[in-house]
Structure 1
Amino acid sequence: MLRILFTSQDIARTRIAGTRDPTWELVLSIQMLQPQPGDALFGIWRREARAALGQAKLGPMGPLLRALNPNVGYFPDFLTPNAAEFGLEEALEAVRCTPRAALARDLAQLASSRALPGEARALATGEPQLLDQFTAAMRTVYSLIVAPYGHRMETELAHDRQRRVSALAQHGIEGLLASFAPMMIWSHGELCIPTHRDQELRLDGRGIRLIPSYFCVSGPLTLFDPELPPVLIYPVPRTVEALPGCDRSGTTLHALLGATRSAVLQTLHGRQITTSELARRAGISPPSASEHAKVLRQAGLVTSCRDRNRVLHALSPLGMELLRRNWQGSSPEWGAW
């Protein structure tokens, strides 16, 4: 669990980012290229992104970027500099100017848990030409797999900012922090994130910048180094308008979620049923039904609740809306299901 400890000064200095953070979105989108919990709505984006990167000429910088951005565990703090709040170019300049000691420390930390390509050793020395090539590759990848989805991202982030600003206006900063429940729990000067690894962050009067993210799906994140300016990145709730691929005519649930998860979602239409009944109706095994329901729940499409010794599953409002829009855009035969 991550515990963030606030003083009265920190509460006064808490703020929400006004725009998307380009380097956090870049890092998280690179991680999203590999499957991870909560990513069920990113299947179409992943195919498009992999195809675009397959055409790019990144050379050894491609494998280096992938190695430095694993989708599980630690990744280097220098990849997401505080300067990113002023734009991508300012952030890339900050990466190029990262002190050698910070590069060496961050890359040694990453190397302690996984093998890194040879270029990582040169990067750790702060070799200027390699840093130029590395940040150029960051710019290229951003232009290919993040920037084309800017409108969808801004739609999601704008909806979230409206919710947070409303909570702030009605109940102050403490109301804003309380609005993040259940993914974050605010109580008596402490913000707790249950899904995070064990970490304690004392703000000590520095305040904190809250950064909503489109590509963040696993839960709120913060920097590894507690001495850096405090930030907290959190996933925004999903709306149908901004789901990858949903703005195209002819896009179906099959293309978005895959055949089995699409079938599970349709099976739940108008019903609240047990795992075994879901398995029977969808034609899959109970363990498979339980796993697919979990993935859809992480994506915000399904809700589950325990009733004595059984679990009942139903569509969430987002799941119902996605299903409705899918039927509207389908053939008469499909819509008549």
Structure 2
Amino acid sequence: MLRVHFGDADLARTRLSSAPHPLWEIATSLHRLQTRQGRWAYAEWYRTIRQRLRDKGMEHALRTVLLPLFPRAAYFPDFLTPTHAADGLEAGLEGILATPRRRVLKEVAHLDRVVGAPAWAPTLAELSTRKELVGLLRAYYEAAIAPYEEVIHARIEAERAARCRELMDGGVEGMLAGLRPTMRWERSVLHVEYHPAVDRDLHLDGRGVLLVPSYFNWQRPVTLADPALPPAVIYPLTHEPSAPPPGHPAGAPAVSLTALLGRARAVTLHTVAAGATTGEIARAAGVAASSASRHAGALRDAGLVTSVRHGATVLHTLTPTGACVLRAALTRSRGTP
């Protein structure tokens, strides 16, 4: 259990990541390759990833470099998931290259003590070796993560919409209380079902914490090992058997949109732009809840909407494709070229 201790200043400085963290998605996807747990939730990804890596000639590097550096165990080096990656993959890779030599050696030595490090790992202190690693991480991202970016972004946007509703209704503490089932909020302490399964206390000391939803994290949140680093908790999204797998085709509505979809579905697409429950769609479209659910389902099957269960309700949000369709229709209706 990880216990994250908050003061009043920490509540004010708690943030929710605005986008997927590419290096944490690399790390957690590599963890998925080391276990059968949760395989049903990533079925299509599992079916294609090995073949794609084989086609790109990356199997040997995966086995001898990436999996040993990112063990699904008690520890892997913090410098491999720098905070810079909040600004995108390239910024994160630059953060790896900028890591001081002394810190790299310290974290590699800790990896060796905890789970065992490959014999070549200390050479990561040399910039030339890290440049090779960065090239490999970029290639792995392009093969294993980039083809699924749309669905990952859509699911994280849906998570952000759900958390923002809780923030508006109950403030930061309400948002923290909504992070069940992997986390439990008791005033001033966030109890986290932590991987690895060890007891640990993290005192924020006025720094706040960055909450990072991760598509490939499974069941147990993780955090950085070094408490002196900027605090972050990486936590899993909820996957349901009925949800489409990764890589699945993913005011008044514009007149062109109504002609294309019909009034009820055009209203549905317009309504979910800011996130909407099935009941809210029904009220906006003037239809029964069962009809609203069918309309949302049709848009979901077309790759325009994503749906996640949020407590007793289902929250619908636009996918990037749905947002593009709605934006294009609204632009056209305003006569903007």
TM-score (norm: length of structure 1): 0.70
Q: Distance in 1 between matches of 2:178 and 2:59?
A: 44
CA contact (8 A) 2:209 2:232 kept: yes
CA contact (8 A) 2:151 2:247 kept: no
Equivalent runs, 1:162-173 vs 2, <5 Å: 162-173=161-172
Counterpart code for 1:204: D
Equivalent runs, 1:256-271 vs 2, <5 Å: none
Q: What's the counterpart of residue 34 of structure 1? A: 34
CA contact (8 A) 1:28 1:216 kept: yes
Q: What's the counterpart of residue 107 of structure 1? A: 108
With over 3 angstroms needed to count, the CA separation of the structure-2 counterparts of 1:221 and 1:6, relative to structure 1, is same
Q: What's the counterpart of residue 9 of structure 1? A: 9
Deviations 1:79-120 (A, max 9, x none): 100001111111101101111121111111111133433321
Number of residue pairs aligned between Structure 1 and Structure 2: 251
Q: What's the counterpart of residue 211 of structure 1? A: 212
Q: Distance in 2 between matches of 1:243 and 1:175?
A: 30
CA contact (8 A) 1:155 1:242 kept: no
Greater shift after overlay, 58-67 or 221-230?
58-67
CA root-mean-square deviation: 2.4
Identity %: 35
Q: Distance in 2 between matches of 1:59 and 1:171?
A: 48
Q: Distance in 2 between matches of 1:194 and 1:129?
A: 38
1:176 aligns with 2:178: no
1:98 aligns with 2:99: yes
Equivalent runs, 1:216-295 vs 2, <5 Å: 216-238=217-239, 240-244=242-246, 247=249
Shift in Å at residue 317 of structure 1? 10
Gaps of 5+ in 2: 251-307, 315-337
CA contact (8 A) 1:37 1:218 kept: no
TM-score (norm: length of structure 2): 0.70
SS in 1 for 2:217: coil
Shift in Å at residue 47 of structure 1? 2.8
Q: Distance in 1 between matches of 2:194 and 2:14?
A: 22
Q: What's the counterpart of residue 24 of structure 1? A: 24
Q: Distance in 2 between matches of 1:7 and 1:189?
A: 6
Gaps of 5+ in 1: 249-299, 302-315, 319-337
CA contact (8 A) 2:194 2:222 kept: no
Q: Distance in 1 between matches of 2:9 and 2:200?
A: 21
Deviations 1:305-334 (A, max 9, x none): xxxxxxxxxxx999xxxxxxxxxxxxxxxx
SS in 2 for 1:206: coil
Counterpart code for 1:232: V
Shift in Å at residue 189 of structure 1? 0.3
Q: Distance in 2 between matches of 1:244 and 1:61?
A: 24
Shift in Å at residue 168 of structure 1? 0.2
